[in-house]
Chain A
Amino acid sequence: MSGHRIRALDLDAANYTRHSLHAEDKVWVEKNCYVDIWIEVIHAIGCEPLAIAPFVVALDFEGDQWTFFKPPHDELRDLYGIDTQELNCWRPLIEHAQEHLAAGKLISTEADAWWLPDVSGTDYRRQHTKSTIVLADLDVDARRLGYFHNAGYFMLEGEDFAKTFRLDIEPDPAFMPFFAEFVRIDRKIVRPAAELRAMSKQLLAKHLARMPVDNPVRRFAVRFAQELPDLQARGLPHYHAWAFATVRQLGAAAELLARYLDWAGGPATAIAAYDQISTGAKSFILKAARAVNSKKPFDPSVTFEEWATAWDTAIAALA
């Protein structure tokens, strides 16, 4: 396998400028890996990712996790002209990547974070974790890849490249290919800001109509009280996974909604309410970690009720 450098986007990982949603002043710089890459892909092609945020308003608590919020494909197409389709991985991923990047398409694929050097603080060469990346710049000869991951755009090479694409190993019939999609940006639409805001407000109305019928924060409060002894028994590594699935999604979603409403000209009461949940969730993650570590009693019911009230306040202001 050989080939020259193929770029679907002309980006420089060393000098890449993130969208403001990923600026260091944010309470939750990273939201979840899927929405984060979409924020950056939309930003990198010259569009405004805030417009896609209304789907987050229908966040729900699903028993053992909060909604892992992902932008609907039809809304990506309507707002930005981005067309996302499943990539049928019938041959090695690197061959698909050469085909589609050369045609100006991006490829979104699950990947093992063990081989993603941008997460040197967590999973890189420490833990096998499924994450989503977007391939944008491929050099097969040099074994170098430019890719979106989490809140930024990065470059990997060498052994990380070989392992990410499963090169230099015998084919394993038991290996199940990662899920992948290709992302067509050839018909992208860069809309004037006023038009984008107007379309986005219609999306907000659509998603408000599919809100949970009750207050999911109160359901989460009940579940947490039941689950705390188990969290304390299992310890910090388990707690970190739990916190990512629960409080992190709630807090990051709340901040994303607050920044969306800033952009969309939404009501100040809703912005303040979502910010309250966002900052509260940030400190809650630390306080709950302390309770798990110390195994001491921890009763956050007052905090949860404040969030639940803030949730109701935000929804009432948006209705």
Chain B
Amino acid sequence: MSDTATKIRAILKEHGRLSKDAEALEDKADLYQAGMTSHASVNVMLALEGEFDVEFPDAMLKRSVFESVAAIQTAIDELVAGK
């Protein structure tokens, strides 16, 4: 597992309020199905921005960007590469 994915899972564990173990989820498992509410996704977004020192642009502030570990990692990789 990449360092980025490990950090994302740690953030999900702390802020995602998932009903399943964030570290055991499949990369593409639906986080909303796993219990993440829109309320929790706000806290996840803020924690991701703090951890990776990035800011999600408006176009990324939508439900689908935060729907799985893989989707979040794609967004983070893009933002980190563009720094």
In angstroms, Cα B62 to Cα A305, docked, is: 20
Residue of A nearest to B61 (CB): A283
Contact among B35, B39, B49, B62 for A120, CB-based, below 8 A: B35
Q: Mark A213-238, 1 if CB is under 8 A from B, else 0.
A: 00000000000000000000000100
Chain B 1-57 residues near chain A, CB threshold 8 A: 16-19, 30, 32-33, 35-40, 42-43, 45-46, 49, 55-56
Question: Which stretch in A68-76, A166-174, A200-208, A287-295 binds the other chain?
Answer: A287-295
Asked if A290 and B55 make an inter-chain contact with CB atoms under 8 angstroms apart, the answer reads: yes
Tell me whether A122 and B40 are in contact (CB under 8 A).
yes
Whether A130 sits at the interface, judged by CB under 8 Å, is no
- Scoring B32, B38, B43, B46 by chain A CB atoms within 10 A of each residue's CB, the highest score goes to B38
Contact indicator A282/B32 (Cβ below 8 Å): no
Would you give the 0/1 interface string for A263-298, flagging 1 where the beta carbon is closer than 8 Å to chain B? 000000000000000010011011101100100000
Write out the residue numbers on chain B whose beta carbons fall within 8 Å of the beta carbon of A240: 39, 42
Known: A121-B18, A286-B56, A290-B55. A279 touches B36 (CB 8 A): no
Asked if B63 and A286 sit within 8 Å, CB to CB, the answer is no
Report the bound CA distance from A236 to B43 in whole Å.
9
Q: Which residues of A contact B78 (CB under 8 A)?
A: none
Q: How far is the CA of A190 from the CA of B28 in the complex (A)?
A: 40
Segment touching B, from A22-30, A100-108, A181-189: A22-30
Known: A24-B32, A121-B19, A283-B58. A290 touches B46 (CB 8 A): yes
Interface residues of A in 227-253 (CB under 8 A from B): 236, 240, 243-244, 248
Residues of chain A within 8 A of B40, CB atoms compared: 121-122
The complex places the Cα of A120 from the Cα of B20 at a distance, in Å, of 11
B13 to chain A, nearest CB (A): 13
Decide if the interface of chain A is mainly helix, strand, loop or mixed: helix
Interface of B is mostly: loop
Cross-interface CB contact of A121 among B35, B46, B49, cutoff 8 Å: B35
Q: Contacts A30-B38, A121-B17, A121-B37; is A279 near B43 (CB within 8 Å)?
A: no
Complex-state Cα separation, A122 to B58, whole angstroms? 26
Would you call A286 and B39 a contact (CB within 8 A)?
no
In the complex, 23 of the A-B residue pairs with CB atoms within 8 angstroms, ordered by the A residue number, are A27-B62, A28-B38, A29-B38, A120-B19, A121-B16, A121-B17, A121-B19, A121-B39, A121-B40, A122-B39, A236-B46, A240-B42, A248-B38, A279-B62, A282-B61, A282-B63, A285-B42, A287-B58, A289-B42, A289-B46, A290-B46, A290-B55, A293-B46
Known A-B contacts: A120-B17, A244-B39, A287-B58. Give 9 more (CB < 8 A): A27-B62, A29-B32, A120-B35, A121-B35, A122-B40, A236-B42, A282-B63, A283-B61, A285-B42
Chain A residues within CB distance 8 Å of chain B: 24, 27-30, 119-122, 236, 240, 243-244, 248, 279, 282-283, 285-287, 289-290, 293
**B interface, CB within 8 angstroms of A:** 16-19, 30, 32-33, 35-40, 42-43, 45-46, 49, 55-56, 58, 61-63
